[in-house]
Amino acid sequence: MGKKMNGIWAIILVLALPAFCFAQGFEDLEKSVTEYTLSNGLKLIIMERHEAPVVSFCTYANVGAVNESKGITGISHLFEHMAFKGTKTIGTKNYQAEIEAMQKEDSLFCEILKERRKGNRADPERLKSLGEEFAQAQEEAGKYVVSNEFGTVVDLEGGVGLNAGTGYDATMYFYNLPSNKLELWMSLESDRYLNPVLREFFKEKDVVMEERRLRTESNPYGKLFEEFLSTAYKAHPYGEPVIGHMSDIQAYTREDAEKQFREYYVPNNLIIGIVGDVKPKEVIKLAETYFGRIPRGPEPKPVVTVEPEQLGERRTQVEDKAQPFLVIGYHKPSATHPDDAVFDAISDYLGGMSMSGMGFGGMNRSSRLYKSLVKEKKIAVAAFAIPGLPGAKYPNLFTFLAVPSKDHTNQECEEAIYEEIEKLKTELVTPEDLEAIKKRARANFIKQLESNQGLAMQLTTYQAVLGDWRKLFGQLDKINQVIAEDIKRVANEYLQKTNRTVAELVTIE
């Protein structure tokens, strides 16, 4: 127990350390990174930081909502849930008996789907009978499950922060362990992708459906953003919800999820970031032993759909009893475009929700929108600009958000935002404002690198999205090269009426 508590407190300590104090400078940080690729294609990015005896891990699966099609929207998010359900040896009392029970579940669910798809011709009595059998099959399969055994093992060994997240571009799995548990992590994490078992599949589908009800169907702002993206995108999968459409969640099978796993959870589509008290040679040796046993898979299919040029302003509304809310989005290039840093600068100057690279920075209360809409005109209680939604890997949206104040409207906020955009198109940003943008960018960038976990996630993301983790440390150089003429040029090129989508939440009595 004493060793476990020491490990936990060491992790808490390192998560609170102030950004390595950055006494080394970015060049020394870059030199502390070792990159290695296994023969099966799995890439390791290892950074040594020996301030405390802990290590942070991030497994970046290069698959997200953009890799889905109609009928299986949300399946990447569901598989994220399933990755915590265990393996052939973790999470089960009797694997062979459990597999047989799961096969019966699958067979009955397919029969239910087949009957449901008859529509009005479906037999209610048969559906009722099948439903009862299915419930019994679920109960039988559940007898063999050891709930949350994966998480329990991590907890008992001093791990903290066990979690995951699915976005449009990727799915990331992460947690922290004492550094003397490196081999344990290698064993647990590799087994997740070598011997996954999608147990409690239908039970977890119910969890995801409830999640959708809470986040979207019962949440007016969730509904608004779903409408906003589906209006802005007519072809590209950025227009589909990460959590998926309810009818898709209800319908897909365990076989659908296993197919998604086989296609995208192959070593050559995974990047692992390891940051902390480790020795690269030891990490590589253990990775060869544990991850090297996973066979290389075929290269996953690329996203080939390109969003066509928008030919005119698009507008949509969601009516609800909630407070009014305004969203305005302009199509812009992906994070690999040379002007990406210019959009970051515009976001900081106009809206204050600045970014350094692909991570959000803090709110700037000296931004143009805050000064104009909140402080001076008092027509909004909040106004922001975000340089890239909903993802970064593909062309995305430069987005403005505004919340009208009492007795004021979305329309007032919208016109005020356009006024600030027009100033950007006709007036050069002052040298003082440009210098302030760059100072905030540096501060936000350093803040992102405060924790081992943050570094592990940033390194893997830059490798996947920009093709090279080293570009993380060159991000500030790009922002420092932005000049006032760049800001004016980009504003005139992209922030045009024909290129924008407007979504508003309209309050009804």
Q: Give the single-character DSSP code of 467.
A: S
* Residue (of 404, 73, 125) closest to 245 by Cα position: 73
* Residue (of 509, 502, 508, 507) closest to 227 by Cα position: 502
- Given this model, what pLDDT does residue 29 score? 81
- Given this model, what pLDDT does residue 25 score? 60
- Given this model, what pLDDT does residue 148 score? 94
> What would the pLDDT profile of 364-373 be if each residue is shown by its tens digit?
677 899 999 9
- Given this model, what pLDDT does residue 15 score? 36
Measured distance CA(464)–CA(359) in Å, rounded: 14
Percent of the chain at pLDDT above 90? 87
- Given this model, what pLDDT does residue 443 score? 86
Measured distance CA(432)–CA(456) in Å, rounded: 34
Please report which residue ranges of 24-94 form alpha helices under DSSP H. Answer: 25-31, 75-82
- Given this model, what pLDDT does residue 476 score? 87
Q: Residue 505 in contact with residue 318, Cβ under 8 Å?
A: yes
> What would the pLDDT profile of 55-99 be if each residue is shown by its tens digit?
999 999 999 999 999 999 999 999 999 999 999 999 999 999 999
> What would the pLDDT profile of 137-163 be if each residue is shown by its tens digit?
999 999 999 999 999 999 999 999 999
- Given this model, what pLDDT does residue 18 score? 35
End-to-end CA distance of the chain: 58
Q: Give the single-character DSSP code of 213.
A: I
496-502 mean pLDDT: 97
Count of CB atoms situated within 10 Å of the CB of 116: 13
3-state secondary structure of 443: helix
- Given this model, what pLDDT does residue 366 score? 78
Average pLDDT, the chain: 91
> What would the pLDDT profile of 205-218 be if each residue is shown by its tens digit?
999 999 999 999 99
CB within 8 A of 184, min separation 6: which ones?
157, 177
- CA 482, 487, 491: angle at the middle one, nearest 5? 150
> What would the pLDDT profile of 400-426 be if each residue is shown by its tens digit?
999 999 999 999 999 999 999 999 999
pLDDT at 444 over 90: no
- Given this model, what pLDDT does residue 475 score? 86
Pairing of strands 359-360, 355-356: antiparallel
Pairing of strands 43-48, 270-276: parallel
Contacts 24+ apart (CB under 8 A), 18-25: 18/450, 19/446, 19/447, 19/449, 19/450, 20/49, 20/51, 20/449, 22/446, 22/449
Measured distance CA(119)–CA(348) in Å, rounded: 52
The gap from C-alpha 93 to its chain's centroid, in whole angstroms, comes to 33
Measured distance CA(131)–CA(109) in Å, rounded: 8
In single-letter form, the type of residue at position 114 comes to: K
Q: Residue 268 in contact with residue 42, Cβ under 8 Å?
A: yes
Helix (H) or strand (E) holding 248: helix 246-251
